Amino acid sequence: MRTEQIAQLLAVYLLQTAYASSNEQTGMMFGAILDKMLESQNTLGGQAYQSNSKNSTEVFSDIKKIINDSPKDLDEAIKEVSRKYGVEEELIRAVIKQESGFNQNAVSKAGAIGLMQLMPSTAKSLGVNPYDALENLDGGTRYLRNLLNSFSGNKALALAAYNGGIGRMKRLGVDTVEEISKMPTETRNYVNKVLKNYEQYKKL
């Protein structure tokens, strides 16, 4: 089924859903329209391909499954992990904005994946699937929480570790905010940008 056909079917489904509950006759009418559309799209050159055809009830069921299986709203998901791990929503949003620009399909040249740009090894250690937006968000926030704990809640140091690696910080002897200057330029810029994002979100 082509994209435009799916869009047409979805439009009919949404209309049917809106009216069918209050008007049985209207619902039946939309079902009949959809059946005609299905009959048309399952026919090529006058030959019907019945093996692949579906009626309106079956298509409604398929579309409902697609809708119900969609990830929950990202805003609500951020609020949920914020409560779960005790990390400020604004900080989570600030990290996501800098890491992926809220693109859950983002993959960096280094191989970091998803909203919070988890490396495969990090995702594995956290027990999450980095390609799943909600698991990525959960794992990334939990990792950020762990880093905040490691640095007594200091955001700048936790962010430096999130970007540059806690192992590198230990090797370079980075224990204070001032010593972040020992980290690579990328990490220093990252910390500044995320903290700037954080302050902007706090004002909203």
Which CATH number belongs to the domain containing residue 87 in this structure? 1.10.530.10
Does 58 lie in the same domain as 83? no
Does 188 lie in the same domain as 90? yes
Catalytic residue among 99, 135, 179, 199: 99
50, 68, 86 - which closes a domain? 68
φ and ψ at residue 105, rounded to 5 degrees: -100, 5
Does 186 lie in the same domain as 96? yes
Q: In which band, very low, low, confident or very high, does the pLDDT at 130 lie, cut at 50, 70 and 90?
A: very high
Q: Which has more pLDDT, 35 or 129?
A: 129
68, 90, 123 - which closes a domain? 68
Does 83 lie in the same domain as 57? no
| Cβ proximity of 157 and 164 under 8 Å | no
Does 157 lie in the same domain as 82? yes
Domain count, the chain: 2
Q: In which band, very low, low, confident or very high, does the pLDDT at 34 lie, cut at 50, 70 and 90?
A: low
3-state secondary structure 57-117: HHHHHHHHHHHHCCCCCHHHHHHHHHHHHCCCHHHHHHHHHHHCCCCCCCECCCCCECCCC
Does 105 lie in the same domain as 49? no
Question: Mean pLDDT over all residues of the chain?
Answer: 80
Does 115 lie in the same domain as 49? no
- What confidence score (pLDDT) does residue 96 get? 97
Query: pLDDT at residue 12 above 70?
Result: no
14 lies in which domain range?
A: 3-68
Within 13 Å of residue 54, how many CA atoms lie on the same side as its CB?
A: 11
Mean of pLDDT values over 63-79: 64
Does 116 lie in the same domain as 35? no
Query: pLDDT at residue 200 above 90?
Result: yes
Does 178 lie in the same domain as 93? yes
Does 106 lie in the same domain as 25? no
Does 102 lie in the same domain as 55? no
Mean of pLDDT values over 109-130: 97
22, 47, 68 - which closes a domain? 68
Does 132 lie in the same domain as 32? no
Q: Which has more pLDDT, 157 or 2?
A: 157
Is residue 135 flagged as an active site residue?
no
Query: pLDDT at residue 11 above 70?
Result: no
Mean of pLDDT values over 54-61: 56
Q: What percent of the chain has pLDDT over 90?
A: 64
Q: In which band, very low, low, confident or very high, does the pLDDT at 103 lie, cut at 50, 70 and 90?
A: very high
- Which helix (H) or strand (E) segment holds residue 143: the answer is helix 133-150
Q: Which has more pLDDT, 57 or 188?
A: 188
Mean of pLDDT values over 114-140: 97
Least confident of 43-47, 79-83, 173-177: 43-47
Q: In which band, very low, low, confident or very high, does the pLDDT at 73 lie, cut at 50, 70 and 90?
A: confident
**Strand partners for 118:** 113
